Structure 1
């Protein structure tokens, strides 16, 4: 009898988030599931790791038939501990992160704890995917995502991913039916940020991050376009951040030292 694939499920919204419950339900159809997730929300943590204080890893029983651990650290800590302590160096066949409550398209991929967990999986040479839904509410409906998650996971397990590459998958909101899947590039879009200034009861100033998402990309092959037109966006992502195209230009510089 063939051995079932071993699937690591992680997230950044915390181990009790509805998004990870939906992802676990899909993963259970595909293989043996192990969950290592933060014990509290860790959104916007990016690729942060815990240094200088101990990490806690405690076994929990939330869903039947699933090995689960809550971690006191970041999403990246969760993947590192999973590989080193839970799987004991025997790496899983697939690492899936999410389903995030909120989009991780365009520039958001840099800040995302969801995507950073998937990136860490890819660094460990594990085929990895991050999933996010355009709904920030705690009671978001993830049902429409499930068949697409299953199909994308099956394709990755069948075809593999190039070394150093992972997938960033975003789902449009539930305002209308999903039209299908689009393979995309990351849009040229960013947050125009502002900091709202307020005062605490002691008259000390503090600041609350706000902003507006600005899309400067008119192309019809980007993740922003796909989501705005109600497609699932799939963007291949790499963690090699070298600007290879700039090397030849920089080699023309003359350094007077």
Structure 2
């Protein structure tokens, strides 16, 4: 590559979140950076897109640096679509999303706005990575993540990714000296068991708070949950073709056309 790579940066926590500010600073050492990120938190949005209201995009400067920045009123997937169609003068060489405040391992990838932004880039044929730190606090310390984020990103820029595949990277909330390394994994079979805390307003109307607990049903030592629990950065190659290819032959044995 003769010119510096063009890197699109986005997230779901909002353009001022400490995680994306860290990611921008890392990407500035690797290429020319354009940021298109939500103007407010969009966690848990999954792959939602805006179809019934207007979208607004504003150029701004959150902090010092050579990057070009835009805030967007839409979802993370909206941000990627708008960036590609309206704000970039060429197709980016890479899209990175995050660094998310909180885990996106296992089933969380389904609900994640962070990963949906990366997947949207992947749909467009752009190599993409979603980064997440296992610390939900706004005050989370991202210092220990920097070298791992840079190493993974440099490898993707060097080797590329196959069409239809993006990387889901989760970083343990540990001091750098306590992180054992990077482990390529599969997604663990785990899920949330939800509960609803039912309450009443002063006027007597019912309302609910979603609560619950995370349950890991997977005893394998090759999963993202195992890696994170044992002090590793987990890297899961994610495909957005949701076809259960192994079941097609079985379905063809049904009497579907009788």
TM-score category of the 2 structures, normalised to the smaller one: over 0.9
| Paired position in structure 2 for 1:244 | 245
Matches within 5 A, 1:82-121: 82-88=83-89, 90-121=90-121
- The answer to whether the aligner puts 1:76 opposite 2:77 as a matched pair is yes
User: Mind listing any 5+ residue stretches in structure 2 that lack a counterpart?
Assistant: none
Matches within 5 A, 1:90-239: 90-174=90-174, 177-239=178-240
Separation (CA, whole Å) in 2 of partners of 1:29 and 1:200: 51
Give the superposition deviation at 1:53. 1.1
State the TM-score, normalized to the length of structure 1.
0.98
Give the superposition deviation at 1:2. 3.1
Separation (CA, whole Å) in 2 of partners of 1:128 and 1:187: 21
Question: For structure 1, which segment, 175-184 or 137-146, has the greater mean C-alpha deviation from structure 2 after superposition?
Answer: 175-184
The superposition leaves residues 186-229 of structure 1 with CA deviations (integer Å, 9 ceiling, x where unpaired) of 00000011011011121111010101000000000000000000
Give the superposition deviation at 1:256. 5.1
Separation (CA, whole Å) in 2 of partners of 1:255 and 1:76: 36
State the TM-score, normalized to the length of structure 2.
0.97
Give the superposition deviation at 1:154. 0.5
- The answer to whether the aligner puts 1:58 opposite 2:58 as a matched pair is yes
| Paired position in structure 1 for 2:41 | 41
Give the superposition deviation at 1:77. 0.1
Q: How many corresponding residue pairs?
A: 256
Separation (CA, whole Å) in 1 of partners of 2:77 and 2:256: 38
Separation (CA, whole Å) in 2 of partners of 1:96 and 1:256: 45
User: Mind listing any 5+ residue stretches in structure 1 that lack a counterpart?
Assistant: none
The runs of at least 4 aligned residues of structure 1 exceeding 6 Å deviation read none
